[in-house]
A = this chain, B = another copy of it.
Amino acid sequence: MFESAEQKHEIDKEAFRKEEPTLREELLDAQFDLNEKKEFPVLIVITGIDGAGKGAALARLYEWLDPHTLRTVAFDQPTDVERARPPMWRYWLELPPKGDIGIFVGSWYHEPLTARIGGKIDDYALAGTTAAINRFEQMLADEGVLLLKFWLHLSGVDRKSRLKQALEDESVRHVLEHRGWKSTYKAAMRVVQLMMQQTSTAAGPWIVIPSADARYRDLTIGQTILQAVRKRLAEGRSTAGATAPAIIPTLDGKTVLDTLDLTQKLSSDVYRKQLSHWQQRLGELTDRKAFREIAVVCAFEGNDAAGKGGSIRRVTMALDPRRFRVHSIAAPSDEEKAQPYLWRFWRRLPAKGHVAVFDRSWYGRVLVERIEGFCSEADWMRAYGEINEFESQLDANGIVVVKYWLATSSAEQLRRFKDREKTPFKRHKITDEDWRNREKWDAYAQAIGDMVDRTSTTAAPWTLVEAEDKKFARVKVLRTLCERIETML
C-alpha cells in the first residue's frame, strides 16, 4: 500500500514555480466546465497520518480552485440531531450536488478506524464495516459521483525526523511517552493498512500521496484531481454496472401476486371492532417511553386505486400528529435531481420517536421507472441491492421498515376507476395516466414479483395486502404495523 510513498519524493522550488501557474489555470478551467455541464459531482476525501499536512494541502487547493463551487465539510462529533439518525445520514445530506466539488475531512472512515484502534471493535467487525463502506462507494460511483480518496503519507524516515523535532519540546515528549506512542503508532498503522486494503476498490481506490515534501504533495494532489475531472468530462458517465444477469419473466407467467387470496373480507361489524382495537394498540405502542428510542418508516405501494390513501389515513389517525409526517413521492425537485437517487429519502428519514409514512417510495425505481424506461436497465438492476443496503442500515439503527404492497384484481381496479369518475370529489383521483398504467398490468405484475423476490429481507420484509376488500386491507395494514413495532420494542 505504502511502498512508493516510502521512497523519497521531492520537487524543488523552481520546478514548482514553473508548474504551478499552468496547473492552477487548468484546474480552474476544468472546474468551470464541471460546473457548467453539471453532469456529475466530485467528492474528495482527505485523510492521512497526523503531521502529513492535511490542513496545508487543503489550503493550497483553495488557492488554486474557485471557492464558489467548492465546499469543505469537517465531520466532528455527531450533533444530537445526527445521533437521532443512522450514522451515514450526515454524509448523505452533505453530498455535493452535480457540478460542485465537495471535500470531506473526517469521513465515514473516521469512526470505524478509531473504534478499531481503541479496541472497541475487533477485526471481524471492522471487516463488516468496510464491506458496508464498499457498497456505499460503489453506489456513489454508479450514481456518477467522481470519488477521490487521498491518504497523505509520511515515510518511516520522515516520521522519525518530525518526531525528533517534536520530542525536543519537553511537554510534547512527556505526553507522547505517557501515551506509549511507539506501540500505539504501530498498532494504529496495522489497522489503517487493513482498512485501506479492504476498501481500495475499483469504485474507490485509495490514492496514497507522499507528503514529506509539501510541493510534491500538493502538485500530486492537484494533478490527480485535474486528470480525473478531465477524463470524466471527456468520457461522460461510465455505463458499466449492468453486469448482473438479465431478469427474465417466469416461464409460466405466475408471480407472487397469484398466491394471494383476494376473496378475504371483513364484515362491517368485525371491521369496526378490529380497526378500533389495532388503532388503540398502535397509539399505545407509539406512546410508550421505549418508542422514543426507535422510529418507523412505512412504505405504501400498490396498484392504482388499491386504497393506499385510505389505509394511510387509518394509520395516521391513530398517531400523535406531532410525531409523524406523510410524504407523497412524485417527481423529484431540482435540488433532488442533482443528487444520487436515494438522497431524497435519506433527507426525509424520521428522527427517533417519529414515524415517516411514504405514499409511494424508493421502489418507484424498480416499478414505474423500470417499466416506463425513465432510467437505464443498469440503474434499476442495481437499485435492488442499493435499496436492501439502505433498509438494512435503517433496521440496524432501530428504524422499523414496514413495506406494503396493496393488491386488487384487475376487475376490481376497473370498477373503482369507473366509480371515481362518477363521484365529483373523487374525480381528481383518476387521470389519463391511470388508464394508461392499467394497460401495462402484466408488465407491472412481473416487476412486482421481481421486486418482492429481491427486496423482501429479514430486516425489511414485504407485506402483501389483499386489498380487494378495503376493510380487510386496512386491518391487515394496522395489525402488521403493530406487530413489527412490538418486535422492535
Contact = CB atoms under 8 A, between A and B. Distances in A.
Given A79-B79, A333-B333, 13 more contacts: A29-B425, A36-B428, A55-B320, A58-B321, A59-B321, A66-B309, A67-B312, A67-B357, A68-B309, A68-B326, A71-B325, A81-B81, A333-B335
A105 interface: yes
Contacts of A320: 55
A316 B62 contact: yes
A324 B71 CA distance: 8
Interface in A312-326: 312-313, 316-317, 320-326
Interface residues of A, number: 45
Contacts of A317: 59, 62-63
Contacts of A58: 321-322
A32 interface: yes
Contacts of A62: 316-317, 321
Contacts of A309: 66, 68
Interface string A44-67: 000000000001001101110011
Given A32-B428, A67-B326, A312-B67, A321 B72 contact: yes
Interface string A63-95: 100111111111000011100000000000000
Main secondary structure of the interface of A (DSSP, over half): helix
27 contacts: A28-B425, A32-B428, A58-B321, A58-B322, A59-B317, A59-B321, A62-B316, A62-B317, A63-B317, A66-B309, A67-B316, A67-B324, A67-B326, A67-B357, A68-B309, A68-B312, A68-B326, A68-B359, A70-B326, A71-B326, A79-B79, A79-B81, A80-B80, A103-B321, A105-B322, A334-B334, A334-B335
A25 interface: yes
Contact of A68 (B55, B103, B328): B328
Contacts of A357: 67
A467 to B, nearest CB: 19
Interface string A102-114: 0101000000000
A383 to B, nearest CB: 24
Contacts of A328: 68-69
Nearest to A97: B333
Contacts of A103: 321
- Top 7 nearest A-B pairs (CB, nearest first) are A74-B322, A72-B321, A67-B326, A67-B316, A68-B328, A81-B81, A58-B321
A97 B209 CA distance: 47
